[in-house]
Structure 1
Amino acid sequence: MRIAIFSRGPGLYSTRRLVAAATARGHAADVIDHALCSPFLAGRKSTLLHNGSPLELPDVAIPRIGANITTRGVSLIRQLDALSVPHTLSPDALLLARDKMSCLQVLAGAGIDVPRTVLCFSAWEARQVARRLGPFPVVVKLLESTHGVGVALAHNLHQLDRVVEGFLQLQDRVLIQEYIRESKGCDQRAFVVGDEIVAVMERRAAPGEFRANIHRGASAVRIELDDASQELVRFTARTIGVEIAGVDLIQSRRGPLVMEVNASPGLEGIEGATEVDIAGAIIRHAEQKI
């Protein structure tokens, strides 16, 4: 079977692991830079161009869409649909997961507990919201960010103004979110493949840091979720429509809250922490698409 892994870099850990896992199961794996792909529409002769030439279509595709190229990635996946090429990532789910507010709105509408969050379009609005959310600090987020970039903690109104004004120069809106003190800088990342939770790690922020991202120096250990949290993770993934996802939970006094859904989660941190062959699970899932 020919598997196309759409990725910006063949040297990336996640890409290399997927290629190795596919090869180990007897498949041919091609890494294709989706930044060089262009949908070509011509009725029955429609195709996908790569570097300007028609791409030999694979049996199945695994899109690994970078956060800075979401729009192009969505166009690519829709072309795969038009060409009847099975794949592992819904374009609508990708768009939803990448917009933090839209994602939380859909989750909350489904009855899933999320942190108290307000969408703001000005520094003045953010000031009013911060007072309503309770005592400082409050978390300020860009709607589209990754690896903890575009996430800041404001301890007072002065810091809030500076952060919000800076973020508004990058995007036209920001999120103001409650700070969960009782989490003590910890969260849980559950990795979902299909309807199975294949691995879970708990991440603890580095000293002096509140973001529990591996790229920010956080430590991580393998854990097991209780039955209720496992069902919450599965329901969250189904609600957003993602087949392969990282679902982030944070523990609060009112129970676990869903912080975020990552539709193209990295493998390095969680495979290293849990020693689970997640790449192999993804390849097995892709096999079932044929």
Structure 2
Amino acid sequence: MPDVLILSTSRKFFSTREITKALKKKNASPIYINTPKIRLSVDQKEATLLYKDEKIENAGSVIPRIGRSLTDFAYIVLRQFEALNVPCTLSSKGLIHARNKFMAVQELVNSDIPFPTSWLTKSRMDTGIIKQKMDFPIIIKLLTGTQGIGVMKVESEKNAIPIIDTLTELDQLILIQNYLQNNGEDIRVFVVDGRIIASMKRISPEDDWRANIHAGGTGIEYNLTDEEEEIAIKATEILDTGIAGVDLIQTPEGTKLIEVNVSPGFRGLLKATGINAADSIAEYAIKLAKK
């Protein structure tokens, strides 16, 4: 069976270890690749990838486990694999669109998938304009934050101004969204190859409104409604993400999409549901390798 490459930055990560074990159980040949150590070369005749100064060959498929800091480099790496016709569980398009929160919602316009009204700015904007479209509190986000980091709930126009000014001074793109009223819970849906593997409800700690597991939230198994299933699957199809953690939130106006994560952790999901997503990820990678 062809090799299945796992792009990561540490063999010790829970996800890397579990995916490696799952591939071995299915008699596949997992090969760990430390993503920053990949070298790329192109000339008029071929595109080449090198790892530890050796040409990467015989790759059946690729499982990218890409952290935010490596997004730009990983995008180029995935394009190189695509040029070589090596299938990946995440496309270069899917990576770049899902990682950029505003590009993600741009892709979802006219899709019938409900998501928060969103503004993007590179400079200080008149908060009076925001007030015409949104009610405070609002959410201010870094464009590429993760795990609840870089997400701020802002209660008033007075509080918004210094935050926007500071982020502008730090040369950050600023994403502003409606705050969606809820009871401090959200839903994580794990999708692999267009199928829902498991889902859980995440509950925020008493002293924090964010429900992310990394922010201290707790997860419990959750049965999705038909509408929630449809939103999750359709979002991954539009964003071209073979593996994704889709985050939804229940509001008085109905369920809305918050984010699509293309390198989702699954330790919390395993604890909440007893389902190890690594098994489905391995099956998907093997399926791609056999094509």
Could you list the per-position Cα deviations for residues 176-216 of structure 1 after superposition, in whole angstroms to 9, with x for gaps in the alignment?
111112x1211101010011100101111111211111111
The aligned length equals 288
Measured after TM superposition, the shift of residue 134 of structure 1 is 3.9
Q: Following superposition of structure 1 onto structure 2, how do residues 182-261 of structure 1 map, counting pairs within 5 Å?
A: 183-261=182-260
Measure, in 2, the Cα distance between the counterparts of 1:5 and 1:139.
35
Measured after TM superposition, the shift of residue 24 of structure 1 is 1.1
8 Å contact 1:194–1:285 — kept in the other structure? yes
Secondary structure in 2 matching 1:59: strand
8 Å contact 2:119–2:177 — kept in the other structure? yes
Unaligned runs of 5+ in 1: none
Change (3 A) 1:30 1:98: same
Change (3 A) 1:65 1:130: same
Measured after TM superposition, the shift of residue 43 of structure 1 is 4.5
Unaligned runs of 5+ in 2: none
Measure, in 1, the Cα distance between the counterparts of 2:24 and 2:152.
41
For the aligned residues, what is the CA RMSD? 1.6
Measured after TM superposition, the shift of residue 116 of structure 1 is 1.7
Could you list the per-position Cα deviations for residues 70-121 of structure 1 after superposition, in whole angstroms to 9, with x for gaps in the alignment?
1110111111112222221110111000111111122132121101222223
Change (3 A) 1:171 1:97: farther
Measure, in 2, the Cα distance between the counterparts of 1:204 and 1:32.
35
Measure, in 1, the Cα distance between the counterparts of 2:171 and 2:241.
25
**Equivalence for 2:115:** 114
Q: Following superposition of structure 1 onto structure 2, how do residues 1-40 of structure 1 map, counting pairs within 5 Å?
A: 1=1, 2-40=3-41
Measure, in 2, the Cα distance between the counterparts of 1:75 and 1:123.
32
Secondary structure in 1 matching 2:98: helix
Could you list the per-position Cα deviations for residues 31-88 of structure 1 after superposition, in whole angstroms to 9, with x for gaps in the alignment?
1111111221134453201244323442211111111111110111111112222221
**Equivalence for 2:161:** 161
8 Å contact 1:152–1:163 — kept in the other structure? no
* TM-score w.r.t. length of structure 2: 0.94
**Equivalence for 1:180:** 180
Measure, in 2, the Cα distance between the counterparts of 1:129 and 1:186.
29
**Equivalence for 1:146:** 146
Measure, in 1, the Cα distance between the counterparts of 2:23 and 2:253.
42
Task: Tell me the amino acid that sits aligned with residue 68 of structure 1.
Answer: S
Change (3 A) 1:272 1:168: farther
Measured after TM superposition, the shift of residue 30 of structure 1 is 1.3
* TM-score w.r.t. length of structure 1: 0.94
Measure, in 1, the Cα distance between the counterparts of 2:45 and 2:153.
53
Task: Tell me the amino acid that sits aligned with residue 149 of structure 1.
Answer: I
Measure, in 2, the Cα distance between the counterparts of 1:124 and 1:31.
46
**Equivalence for 1:287:** 286
Measure, in 2, the Cα distance between the counterparts of 1:94 and 1:132.
33
Large movers: runs of 4+ above 4 Å: none
8 Å contact 1:7–1:15 — kept in the other structure? yes
Change (3 A) 1:69 1:170: farther
Q: Which has the higher contact order (CA 8 A, sep 6+)?
A: 2
8 Å contact 2:186–2:250 — kept in the other structure? yes
Secondary structure in 2 matching 1:273: helix
Change (3 A) 1:133 1:209: farther
Measure, in 2, the Cα distance between the counterparts of 1:230 and 1:135.
29
Measure, in 2, the Cα distance between the counterparts of 1:170 and 1:30.
39
Task: Tell me the amino acid that sits aligned with residue 277 of structure 1.
Answer: N
Measure, in 2, the Cα distance between the counterparts of 1:141 and 1:242.
22
8 Å contact 2:99–2:144 — kept in the other structure? yes
8 Å contact 2:142–2:172 — kept in the other structure? no
Q: Following superposition of structure 1 onto structure 2, how do residues 3-152 of structure 1 map, counting pairs within 5 Å?
A: 3-125=4-126, 127-152=127-152
Measured after TM superposition, the shift of residue 25 of structure 1 is 1.1
Secondary structure in 2 matching 1:136: coil
Measure, in 2, the Cα distance between the counterparts of 1:11 and 1:191.
22
Secondary structure in 2 matching 1:61: strand
